[in-house]
Amino acid sequence: MGMTSRIIATLMTFLLWFPAQNVRASDTMLMFVGEDLEVLSIASRREEAAWSAPAIADVITRERFENKGAVTLSQALADQPGFYMNQTEKGTVPYLRGIQNSTLFLFDTVPMGSGIRKSDNMIDYETSLAPVKRIEIVRGTGSVLWGPDAFAGVVNAVPLSGRDFQGLETGLLITSEDSPGEAYVNWGGRSSNWTGFVSVSGRRADKADDPYNVVHFWEDIDLKAPLASRYGRGKPDDSHFVNLYASAGYSDWLTFSAKVADNKNAYTVSDWEGIYSWEEQAVNRSAQYKVEAARRFSPDNGIRFTGYYSQTRQDLSFVDKTFNVDETSWFGEVIYDHSFFNSSGLVTVGTSIKHDDFQGVPVWETFLPDYFTPDNEFSVPDVNQINTDNSLKSFFGQYRHDIEPIEVWAGIRYDNHKAYEDRASYNVGFAWDLGQFKFKSLYGTAYRSPFARQIDETDGDSLEQIRNFNVQISWKNQDTKAAVTLFQNKISNHVMEDRYAGAGLSTANSQTIEGMELEMSHQFFGSLSISGNLTLLDNNGPRETYFYHDYNHYDDQGNLVEKHYQALEYAYDTGPTTMGNIQAKWQMTDHLTLAPELRYFSRRKLYYPVSDETRICPEAWIMDINLNIKDILPFDLTLFVNNLFDHEYLSPGLYSITRASGLSAGIHFSYQW
């Protein structure tokens, strides 16, 4: 069935599902199930409901992600419209609306992960949800307010503060998947005008990774270890993840915060045929420090300042070779907003400066798994470590005007780069409030800064661009909420990041991705609510061409004469083209809540990057069940069972097809002192 037919059929089902009654909703009612915590700030840099925000937006409250047993950002986002979380041996590769590694992930509005290695998102155990109050989501471009890399969407994890949480809470999570599990402590308090919050969490994971057989390879960067010592048997080290977050605030105008992490992720990977396997490790030590200040001159206008400094040290190991990578970033921003015409108009203007410095980033010139075979006695992979930096000055503004029942907005941003080309992003949109219906239409552009291999090969001169168009109609009454969103992403100068450690860089091309997101929720009676969503994707674009460096020509004196490349073509990878889920929340008693969830995604592909071969991962059905017990025992208790159906479904891995985590169970204790 084609994309158009699927959309028509689904829309017909959606329209027939609507109740016939016409109940006008309150203007203050939020669109999705939840309480007043379902507000977000990333759509217009001020708190507002997702229903009224100038964006396709949603909020995952702490109650929602705790009910489903999510302890990482990737788990919390796995059932959201448009998102697909591809589980690899190393961690999660996120897709949003068919675009891989395209979301700007923020923690307390500070970018997470690497600014030059887009696949290092830090959305698994590297970032604990223990201190998180809510998760804000915008699907679609966000560059006008958030700059480059707010490409297909923005996700912001908002931490708790002393205003939200007072007292002491301890928690312990034990799972069968990786023992011994995770523990955390949250403390919050307030005194007079001061508030404070501290969260410490730690996880030690004894992963059930397969043993590996390549135990020794490098003597140094240019010399391979003797063949006789190459093979053996080993097991990956235990992984650990330690996170500290602390904040202190004075009144409503000054906040200091800090986030420190020490993480080690060790895992086994294998080549395409599963013959040779080896250990890789990513050790991250990071720290970020942030200050925020705000001053309201009057109810109609005010100014805000945000500044932060972040530093990350990564030790990336492949078998027995380690590359040391350093990233530092500092940022300052001033925003002024002013309301006009009895608060019908709102202008937001700002300027920012940001500097990034990257040292020792590895760029693979040849394909790593090719070198582990016994017939390779002398050669080692070609790998460079690059150093680069960039300074960015930005000027932006956005204006919103409400002419009931219609609101319109427009924004523009100019980014002045030191190392890359200068670019301007913009957005326009309008919303029409029809009582229980709301119609939104948005158009925006965004750019993505280059990753390491682009800089090494092309100097990052041409930035990848996206033009995003959205149309959404949403509907609500006291018990029912629903929305249909149609979108189109037109990507130009698209270049695929090399996730295969030396497979090559795809040539620049253009892609068009169209899709639909359908969301529904209904409160059947006081104790039972059911919600779900469905995403359909269709790609219309050329095949991508890779130039794989397979061998070199040398002269008689051993001098390099020519590097030989093989051209390979593959279809653009959108991930699954169909994704959906259905969730229930059954309040069995005042103390017992049962929360089952069923997720589905269609087949996915993995391309062998050095030859003309493709493998298919079949569709998967994933069933999770959570039982929450509160106010019976001295502590709160959650029991959960994950992946009841496809116990070991196949998933695209780093270099080969891998098996996802099988059937697992666990228990979560929490106690408030």
Q: What is the mean pLDDT of the chain?
A: 87
Percent of the chain with pLDDT over 90: 60
Q: Is pLDDT of 620 > 70?
A: yes
Residue 16 has pLDDT above 60, yes or no: no
CA proximity to 413, closest of 640, 147, 617: 147
252's tokens:
């409503």
- Please provide residue 494's backbone torsions phi and psi, each rounded to the nearest 5 degrees: -75, 130
Tens of pLDDT along 539-557? 988 988 887 777 777 777 7
Which residues have C-beta within 8 Å of that of residue 192, sequence separation ≥ 6? none
Q: What is the mean pLDDT of residues 411-438?
A: 93
Amino acid at 28: T
pLDDT of residue 496: 77
For residues 84 and 498, what is the distance between their CA atoms, to the nearest angstrom? 19
- The span from the CA of 531 to the CA of 32, in Å, is 10
Within 10 A of 586 (CB to CB), how many other CB atoms are there? 15
State the Cα–Cα distance between residues 301 and 610, nearest whole angstrom: 58
Q: Quick check: 38 and 521 in contact, CB under 8 A?
A: no
Greater confidence (381 vs 352) lies with 352
The C-alpha atoms of residue 619 and residue 515 are separated, in whole angstroms, by 19
Q: What is the pLDDT of residue 15?
A: 36
Q: Is the pLDDT confidence value at 153 over 70?
A: yes
Q: What is the DSSP string of 301-314?
A: EEEEEEEEEEEEEE
Q: How far is CA 589 from CA 158, 170, 529, 627, 628, in A?
A: 31, 25, 14, 12, 11
- In DSSP terms, 290 is beta-bridged to 257, 308
- pLDDT at position 447: 93
pLDDT at 30: 30
Over range 475-479, report the average pLDDT.
90
Residue range 254-266: mean pLDDT, rounded:
96
Residue 421 has pLDDT above 90, yes or no: no
Helix (H) or strand (E) holding 565: strand 560-570
User: Is a pLDDT exceeding 80 seen at residue 10?
Assistant: no
Four-residue CA torsion sign, 357, 360, 366, 371: negative
Q: How far is residue 66's CA from residue 629's CA, in Å, rounded to a whole number?
A: 12
Residues with Cβ < 8 Å from 382, sequence gap 6 or more? 364, 365, 366, 502, 549
pLDDT band at 114 (very low <50, low <70, confident <90, very high): confident
User: Could you tell me if 277 and 212 are in contact, meaning their C-beta atoms sit under 8 angstroms apart?
Assistant: yes
Q: What local confidence, expressed as pLDDT, does residue 461 receive?
A: 60
- pLDDT, residue 13, reads 43
**Euclidean distance between CA atoms 524 and 574, whole angstroms:** 35
pLDDT score at 570: 86
pLDDT in tens, 488-537: 999 999 887 766 666 667 788 899 999 999 999 999 888 999 999 999 99
Residue 63's H or E segment, with its range, is: helix 62-67
H or E segment to which residue 6 belongs: helix 3-17
Beta-carbon count within 10 A of 352 CB = 20
Q: What pLDDT shows up at residue 673?
A: 85
Both tokens of 348, joined, read: 């937001």
> Strand runs (DSSP E) across 148-275, as ranges?
153-159, 167-175, 179-191, 194-206, 212-214, 231-234, 239-250, 254-270
Strands 153-159 and 103-107 turn out to be: parallel
Percent of the chain with pLDDT over 70: 91
pLDDT at 588: 92
Report how far residue 450's alpha carbon sits from residue 464's, in angstroms, rounded to the nearest whole number. Answer: 8
Structure confidence at residue 26 (pLDDT): 30
Lowest-confidence range among 7-21, 292-306, 391-405, 618-632?
7-21
Q: Are 78 and 599 in contact (CB under 8 A)?
A: yes
Give the mean model confidence (pLDDT) for residues 250-264.
95
pLDDT top residue among 207 and 595? 595
**b (16+ CB within 10 A) / e for 369-381:** bbbbeeeeeeebb
Token pair in block for residue 37: 């915590």
In terms of Cα–Cα distance, which of 235, 239, 228, 324 is closest to 279? 235
Q: What integer is the mean pLDDT of 86-106?
A: 93
- Residue 540's pLDDT is what? 87
pLDDT beyond 90 at 663 = no
Whole-number Å distance between alpha carbons of 36 and 41: 14
615 alpha-carbon distance from chain centroid: 25
Nearest CA to 284 out of 121, 46, 416 is that of 121
User: CB–CB of 168/187 below 8 Å?
Assistant: yes
How confident is the model at residue 456, as a pLDDT? 64
For the stretch 331-370, pLDDT in tens is: 999 999 999 888 899 999 999 999 999 999 988 878 888 8
The reported pLDDT for the residue numbered 425 is 95
pLDDT above 80: residue 558: no
Environment class of residue 341 by beta-carbon count within 10 Å: exposed (0-12), middle (13-18) or buried (19+)?
A: exposed
Above 80 in pLDDT, residue 35?
A: no
Residues 217 and 201: their CA atoms lie apart, in Å, by 36
The model's pTM is: 0.91
pLDDT score, position 78:
94
Task: Sort strands 464-476 and 437-448 into parallel, antiparallel or unpaired.
Answer: antiparallel
Element (H, E) at 638: strand 636-642
pLDDT at residue 308 above 80? yes
**Is pLDDT at 69 greater than 90 in this prediction?**
no
The H helix count followed by the E strand count for the chain is 5, 40
Residue 3 has pLDDT above 80, yes or no: no
Q: Is 242 exposed, middle or buried (0-12, 13-18, 19+ CB in 10 A)?
A: middle
42 Rama class: left (phi>0) / alpha (psi -120 to 50) / beta? alpha
Question: For residues 92 and 82, what is the distance between their CA atoms, to the nearest angstrom?
Answer: 15
Q: What was the pLDDT predicted at 29?
A: 27
Q: 226 near 208, Cβ under 8 Å?
A: no
Q: How far apart are CA 98 and CA 78, in angstroms?
A: 14
Whether the predicted pLDDT of 22 surpasses 50? no
Q: Is the pLDDT of residue 563 over 80?
A: no
CB atoms within 10 A of CB 416: 13
User: Nearest Cα to 198, choosing from 185, 180, 212?
Assistant: 185
Which pLDDT score, from 0 to 100, does residue 222 have?
Answer: 57
Q: What is the mean pLDDT of residues 640-667?
A: 85
- Please give the Cα distance from 224 to 212 (Å, whole number): 19
Instruction: Label residue 19 by pLDDT band (50, 70, 90).
Output: very low
Give the Cα separation of 288 and 308 in Å (integer): 7
The model's confidence at residue 249, banded by pLDDT at 50, 70 and 90, is very high
Nearest 5°: phi and psi at 622?
Answer: -125, 125
How far is 122 from 178, CA to CA, in rounded Å? 19
641 and 664 in contact (C-beta within 8 Å)?
yes
Instruction: Compute CA distances 368 → 274, 380, 503, 549, whole Å.
Output: 14, 9, 8, 11
pLDDT bin (cut points 50, 70, 90) of residue 116 is confident
* pLDDT at residue 463 is higher than 50: yes
Residue 24 and residue 36: Cα distance in Å, rounded?
Answer: 19
| pLDDT at site 59 | 95
